[in-house]
Amino acid sequence: MLQINDLVYRAGDRLLFDGASAFIPAGAKVGLVGRNGAGKSTLLALVEGRLAPEAGRIVRHPRARVLAVAQEAPAGERTVLDTVLDADSELRRLEAEARTASDPQRIAEIHTRLADIDAHSAPARAAAILAGLGFDSEAQGRPLDSFSGGWRMRVALAAVLFLAPDLLLLDEPSNYLDLEGVLWLESHLRTYRHGFILVSHDRSLLNSVVDRILHLENGRLRDYAGGYDAFERARAAEIERLGAMKARQEAERRRIQAFVDRFRYKASKARQAQSRLKMLARMKPVLGVVEGRSPAIRFPKPEPLSPPLVALEKVAVGYDGTPVLRRLDLRIDPEDRIALLGANGNGKSTFAKLLARRLAPMAGRIVAPPKLRIGYFAQHQADELRADRTPYDHMRARLPDLAESKVRARLGAFGFSADAADRPVTTLSGGEKARLLLALMAASAPQLLILDEPSNHLDIDSREALIQALNDFEGAVILISHDRRLVEATADRLWQVAAGTVRPFAGDLDDYRRELLAARGGGNGGGVKEENARRRLRRESAAARARLAPLQKAASDAEERLGALQEKAARLATALASPALYDGSIADGAAKAARLRQEQARLAREIAETEETWIAAHESLERAREEAP
C-alpha cells in the first residue's frame, strides 16, 4: 500500500526527516506517534502529496485512494447532509447525468455504475456517520454556515469517513470532538474496512483501534506491533538494552584509554598502545536513547476545608435571561473527582462557568465556605496570555508578594526551567501554554479545580503527568475532557449533562459508551449494568489516594526541608568565598572562616541525612503507588 524510502525533508533550517523509511501494508491500522514538533503532521502531508520530499521516495499503490480530512472547515449554504454527499464527486456526477441522459445505453451504464458504488444507500450511510458525530436529523438539514468552526470540522471528518478511502489520514481528529464523538469514532475505526494512519495523543484511542505503532524520533521511523501500551513496553525494553550496551562500551573505552595513558610512552608497550588507540577510533559509539520525557505537573497542597465545598440548591443558569440548565441540586465534597458527560452544546461549559463563578445563578442558591478558592482552566484562556510577557512575568503578576525563588519554584512544578520561564509567551508551544495556564490556575492553591478540556495540546507524556498530578491533588476536581483515559484514570464519579439539567450517572464509562452507541446507531446498548472491574478500579483508586496521603506528606516535608538546607548551604558557600575573610579587611576573619567551615561541614551531614530521608520517603511512596490499582 505505502512504501517510504530514505525520506529527507527540511522545514526551514530544521531537518525533520533524515533517511526515514517504513512499509505500511494494505489494510494496516497505524498509530503515528512522536514528540510535539517531530514532524508527524508533515509526514501525513508528504504521504497525501501536499508536500514533496527533498530526497527519497514515497511510493503509493497506483490505484489506492489516499485521503485526509480537509485542512479548512467547509462553509456555505449547503446542508450538512448534502455537503457530505457532495464529497463523492462521482456519485454526484452520475446522479446529475442520470437526470439528463437520453441515450438508453448510456442510461444503463449510469445505473449499473450507481449500483456498483451502492448509491441507493449513500444518504443513509452519510446520515449514520453524521449521527455518530453528533448531528441529529434536524441538524443534518441545516446549512453549514449556521454551525461553529468546530462543528464544521466534524462535517469535514464525516465527509472523508463517508468516502472510505483505501488509506485514511487522520491528524488529531479528537481535537474537535467531544467525548461522545471520540467514543463513536473509536467504534467506527475498529470496524473500518480499509487502512489508516492516525496521529493522536489519545492513548485509549490508540490502544483501541491501531494494530501497529510507527514511532517518529530523530528524523527516523521505527515500526512496533500492537497498540500504544505494547509500543511503550517494547520501547522501555529497548532503552534498557541500549543503556546497558552503552555502559559496557564506555567501561571498555575507559579500560583501553587507561592502558594507552599508562604505556604509550614506554618503548616495549608502544606498539600495543598504538593498536589500542586504533581500536578506540574504530569503536562505533552506541547511541543512547534520549527520552526527553515531559516534565512533571504538581498542584500545590490546598488548605483543608470542611465539606461540602459547594452545594447547589434548585439552581438555574443560562444566558440573556434564558436558562440552559435548571433544577440543579448537587453537592461537591473535598477529594471528589467528578467528570461531566454530555454532548457539546448540552451545557457542560456553562455548568463549569457557574461553579467557577464566571456565571451567576438565575435562580436558587449556591452555598460554599468563605475561604474556598477555585481554580478554573479553559482553553480560550490562552488568548488572555500577553505574547510579549514571559511565564515568570505572568506568575509574578499573579503572586506579587512572593519571593522570586518561590515564583520560579511554582513554575518549576509545571515543567518550566529557568530558561523556559524567561522566554516570551509568543515562543511557547501549545503544550507549554497549556502548562502555563495550569500553573496560573493553581497559583492560589485552590481547593477545587475545574478543568474544561485541559489535555488539548498536551502530548501523551504530559497527559500522563496530568493524570498523576490530579490523583495526587488533595482537593476536589470537576473535569470535562474528550480523553477517555484521563477520565477513567482520575474520575470516581460521573455526572451527565443532558435534557437541561445535571444528574449523577448510574454506571461507568463503558455503560455510557454502550448507551451512546445504541442511541447513535453505533452498537448495542448492553442492557444490564454490571459491577465490572473498571468500576471496582475507580473505587479502589479513591481508597488508594487516602492511603497515599501520609506518604505524600512525608515526601513533601522532606523535600521542603532539603530545599531549605540547600539554600542555607548556598548562603554559607557565598560567605566563605568573600575575600574579606582572608585579606585582613575584617577583624578575626580567619576565626570566622573556620567557624563557617565547621557550620558548612555540619550542614553537609544534615543535608546527606535529609536526602536519605527524602529518598526513603519517595521510595515508600512509589512502592505504594505501584501496589495501588
Pair 358, 396 in one domain: yes
Q: How confident is the model at residue 539 (pLDDT cuts 50, 70, 90)?
A: low
Quick one: 369 and 333 in the same domain?
Answer: yes
Task: Write the pLDDT tens digit of every residue in 310-360.
Answer: 999 999 999 999 999 999 999 999 989 999 999 988 999 999 999 999 999
434 and 477 co-located in one domain: yes
Query: Residue 145: exposed, middle, or buried by beta-carbon count in 10 A (0-12, 13-18, 19+)?
Result: exposed
More confident position, 106 or 543 = 106
* Confidence at residue 289, expressed as pLDDT on a 0 to 100 scale: 45
Cα 487 from Cα 69, distance rounded (Å): 27
> Quick one: pLDDT band at residue 524, thresholds 50, 70, 90?
very low
Region of 79 (left: φ > 0; alpha: ψ -120 to 50; beta: rest) is beta
CA distance 501 to 468: 31
Distance CA 489, CA 484 (A): 8
pTM score above 0.85: no
Give percent of the chain with pLDDT exceeding 90.
58
Can you spell out the DSSP letters for 88-125?
-HHHHHHHHHHHH---HHHHHHHHHHHHHTTGGGHHHH
In a domain, 538, yes or no: no
Q: How confident is the model at residue 628 (pLDDT cuts 50, 70, 90)?
A: low
Residue 534 has pLDDT above 60, yes or no: no
Q: Is residue 534 part of a domain?
A: no
* Domain total in the chain: 4
Question: Could you tell me if 316 and 276 lie in one domain?
Answer: no
Least confident of 387-391, 404-408, 601-605, 608-612: 608-612
The mean of the pLDDT values for the chain is: 86
Residue 191 burial (C-beta neighbours within 10 Å; 0-12, 13-18, 19+) = exposed
Strands 195-199 and 29-34, bridge-based pairing: parallel
The 10 Å CB-count burial string (b at 16+, else e) for 312-326 is beebbbbeeeebbbb
* pLDDT at residue 89 greater than cutoff 60: yes
Whether 194 and 225 share a structural domain = yes
Mean pLDDT to the nearest integer, 84-102: 92
Same domain as 209, residue 64: yes
Do residues 141 and 266 both lie within one domain? no
Q: Tens digits of per-residue pLDDT, 277-297?
A: 666 666 656 444 444 555 679
Task: Give the pLDDT band of residue 591 (cuts 50, 70, 90).
Answer: confident
In a domain, 134, yes or no: yes
pLDDT score recorded for residue 533: 44
Give the confidence band of 620 by pLDDT, cuts at 50, 70, 90.
confident
**Percent of the chain whose pLDDT exceeds 70:** 86
Burial of 78 (0-12, 13-18, 19+ CB in 10 A): middle
Examine the pLDDT at 69 and tell me if it is beyond 80: yes
Asked if 205 and 344 sit in the same domain, the reply is no
In a domain, 142, yes or no: yes
Whether residues 128 and 250 fall in one domain: no
In which domain, by residue range, is 270 found? 232-282
* Residue 197 domain flag: yes
3-class state of residue 218 by DSSP: coil
In whole angstroms, what is the distance from residue 35 CA to residue 548 CA? 31
Q: What is the mean pLDDT of residues 144-173?
A: 95
Residues 20 and 145 placed together within one structural domain of the fold: yes
pLDDT tens for residues 16-47?
999 999 999 999 999 999 988 889 999 999 99
CB atoms inside a 10 Å sphere around CB 464: 20
Q: Say which amino acid occupies 60.
A: R
Average pLDDT over residues 575-596: 77
Residue 182 in domain: yes
CATH number of the domain where residue 89 is located: 3.40.50.300
What is each CA distance from 382 to 385, 478, 479, in whole angstroms?
6, 20, 18
Residue 290, in any domain of the structure: no
Distance of CA 497 to the CA centre of its chain: 24
Answer yes or no: are the C-beta atoms of 566 and 587 closer than 8 Å: no
* 253 and 181 together in one domain: no
pLDDT at 590: 77
Indicate the pLDDT class of residue 522, thresholds 50, 70 and 90.
low
Per-residue model confidence (pLDDT) at position 569:
82
In a domain, residue 42? The reply is yes
d(CA 424, CA 420): 9
Which tens digit of pLDDT belongs to each residue from 45-68? 999 999 999 999 999 888 889 999
Which of 231, 247, 263 is a domain's end point? Answer: 231
pLDDT tens digits for 458-503? Answer: 888 889 999 999 999 999 999 999 999 999 999 999 999 999 999 9
Q: Verify that 67 and 214 share a domain, yes or no.
A: yes
Of the residues 200, 231, 262, the one at which a domain ends: 231
